Structure 1
Amino acid sequence: MTTHPPTKDGQQAAKEVLHRARVLLDPALRTWVHRLPPPVARVASYHFGWTDSAGRPDSAPTGKALRPALVFSCAEAVGGSADEALGPAVAVELVHNFSLLHDDILDGDTTRRHRATAWTVFGSSSALLAGDALLIHACRVLSEEDALPRTLTGLRWLSESTTQLIEGEQTDLHFEERSRVALGECLLMAERKTASLLACACALGALWGGGDQAQTEALRRFGHHLGVLFQLTDDLLGIWGDPAVTGKPAGADLASRKKSLPVVAALDSGTPAGRRLAELYAEDDPESDEGATPPSVLADLVVEAGGREWAEHAVADQLALAEGALATADVAKEAAERLTALLRLVGQRDH
């Protein structure tokens, strides 16, 4: 199956959707973060790129705002307005950044968005507590909404997706301790870890926008496939991404011997290259400065074993499944075009 990369116009449209989401989101997001206790708010503000390590105003990169953009776009797709969906947009962004603060500690990542991660600046304990506070705040955002039945449904969906996200993170950690992981297990982990929150963002947008059950479920499926696509692309960038663009070291996932989707596809291939990759993953000590196989050698083995090719085909499959789900949602053409632009940008992103 062949992918359809975004056209120049499509890329620009997606970037405009993301920029608009950031403009709509940030004032409310800052207000909620500033409601945290000052020491916690300081860590969170640094993580969001609003301040430097000393608490002075800064304008560091703040992330793509993809999840809020999906909330806003799905609300509008079913006839609602972006302003009406501000609460769930803030909530999903808080949950997402809770996971990033924790992820950086769990993975030992020292850089994010081209600067030091929060835990390396403030300590792992402070970063963990800041992440916890963002998660609790996400529930507070929705709990202060006026429409009680909708609020209860939204809280349930957000809680379920966050639990799945945590389950996916836990599974990902366990994979590091196992010598063999089946590709199906790895895909399920990606669905939990990444796709669950993106699917929830789309469903919340549809719910707040007044969509019917069929529209909401179709947009949820769209978000699910977009989420798997996001993780596949993320895993490809974790091996072959340009450090100058991604903000992370070259081959970072291979250096830490992470069992990402292209790697597991290679390990599961039954090829000589796959078996050699398995030997090096089992024998090497990635913490050692001596004797560890360079990431570039491991990357070549992943390619030789077919892991990169499998992941690129899977990207195309998920793109098609997402487009199919969107086609059944019965949304306005303009809204569908915005969501399609976001989808294709995710599939072709470089960071």
Structure 2
Amino acid sequence: MTRTQDPVGPCTAGSGPAEPEVSGSAASGPATGAREWLELARDRWHPALRGAVDRLDPHMRQVAGYHFGWLDADGRPSDGAAGKGLRPGLALLVADALTGAPRDAVAGAVALELVHNFSLVHDDLIDRDQARHHRPTVWTVWDDTTAVLVGDAMLAIALEELALSGSPYAVAASVALLAATRELIRGQAEDVLFESRAEVSVEECLGMVAGKTGSLLAVSASMGAILTGADDETVAAFHTFGAELGLAFQIVDDLLGIWGTSEVTGKPVYADLAAAKKTLPVVYTLASEGEAGAGLREWFATRTARDAADPDDLTQAATLIEKAGGRSWAADQAAAHVRTALAALEPVALADAQRERLIELAHFVTRRSA
């Protein structure tokens, strides 16, 4: 199938990637070792995260605790669902791989998790998303102002956590985190701007994703290297590793937004199509020649997020994407970015066991199932 070079409609990067398994060439089974490592890593950074949030004033502490799943809306202890902790876990994994001392990166891991969640709270508000991890989002429980303020508070204590760490590499780590946050905001701003544009190319979408999703995973990997005193070449290698994983992560998320099962994503099947989102598989198909591409262009031209909820219509759109090769293209792209990520680590001296753990984590990005 031949793609045209003409730009197409706006793309949208998801604000909170779910983690079910996705079919296609990029996914062939779970990476259980990576999942186990992320759980072990959580035991190291999570208490420090709680300590950082405890520095907030009582109201902001309650709102943040609700967002993280520790409290209910009335401030009572809760056991709400939480994310997998990929970003802090990646930082600790890199530190462990380089020096065997993951504790050196705990402050960085906490800062990463806070910046990630600052972006999620603001994303939910911008997108008017009403649920995250099967719970109402912060802005729906309180209000828009509270969501803005608690996100800002998370960003502030993220930087404070690094400043208080006592690490000789805290300044370098802070500069890297701030640069990544700037890129994250660039990606978010482009995502919003693209919604009002009639035409956006696949390349522009990938550039937006590199900022909105890739930048934080890039600094997550490089943070582990920075805080262990690694040389510039090693830091750069891990930055590339994380950036490529970020692209793969978002592409898989876009696949899940259409074909993920509601039992594990917490969203209806075809959720992104119901919201009329032009994610990467959609944008690729809209730019394609042939009947399927033309059919999807017509589908989007006559539907909006308000009226695109008919199950038969959604199935029709998903079928058109598959026929045009959008689903397989996206899965292949995710796999290609994982290969590039792993290639970036080839010059880095690592023990076989540590390298294998990083490989497992890389594949977990495209094979996640829960």
- Range of TM-score over shorter length: over 0.9
| Aligned match for 1:140, one of 136, 144, 160 | 160
1:325 maps to: 344
- What is the aligned partner in structure 2 of residue 236 from structure 1? 255
Select the residue among 254, 268, 271 that pairs with 1:252.
Answer: 271
- CA deviations over 1:93-129 (Å, ceiling 9, x no partner): 0000011111112222211112222221122221221
Higher relative contact order (CA 8 A, sep 6+): 2
Pick which of 273-282 and 81-90 moved more: 273-282
Name the residue aligned to 2:71.
51
Deviations 1:139-182 (A, max 9, x none): 1111223245x222111111111111111111111222122211
What are the Cα deviations for residues 38-66 of structure 1, in whole angstroms up to 9, with x where unaligned?
11111111110101111111111111000
Whether contact under 8 Å (1:80, 1:210) holds in the other structure is no
Q: Which has the higher helix share?
A: 1
Name 1:32's counterpart in structure 2.
Answer: 52
- Kindly indicate whether residue 282 of structure 2 is the aligned counterpart of residue 263 of structure 1: yes
Query: Which residue does 1:194 correspond to in 2?
Result: 213
Deviations 1:21-46 (A, max 9, x none): 21111111011111111111111111
Q: Is the 8 A contact 1:179 1:282 kept in 2?
A: no
Contact 1:202 1:219 in 2 (8 A): yes
The aligned counterpart of 2:354 is: 335
Map of 2:171 onto structure 1:
152
| Paired AA for residue 337 in structure 1 | E
Structure 1 residues 90 and 179: alpha-carbon distance in aligned structure 2, compared to 1, 3 A threshold: same
Corresponding residue SS for 1:78: helix
Q: CA deviation at 1:221?
A: 0.9
Query: Structure 2 length normalisation: TM-score?
Result: 0.89
Q: 1:179 to 1:289 in 2, by over 3 A?
A: closer
CA contact (8 A) 1:49 1:59 kept: yes
What is residue 301 of structure 1 aligned with on the other side? Answer: 320
Cα pair 1:166 1:193 within 8 Å, conserved: yes
Q: Which amino acid aligns with 2:186?
A: E
| Distance in 2 of aligned mates of 1:280 and 1:54 | 44
Post-superposition CA distance 1:247-284 (Å, at most 9, x none)? 12322211222121111111111232222222322332
Matched-pair contact (CA < 8 Å) for 1:78–1:206: yes
Indicate the RMSD between aligned Cα atoms, in angstroms.
2.0
Partner of 2:87: 67
Unaligned runs of 5+ in 2: 1-23
Conserved 8 A contact 1:79-1:210: no
**How far apart are residue 2 of structure 1 and its match?**
5.9
Query: What TM-score results when the alignment is normalised by the length of structure 1?
Result: 0.94
Tell me the percent identity: 42
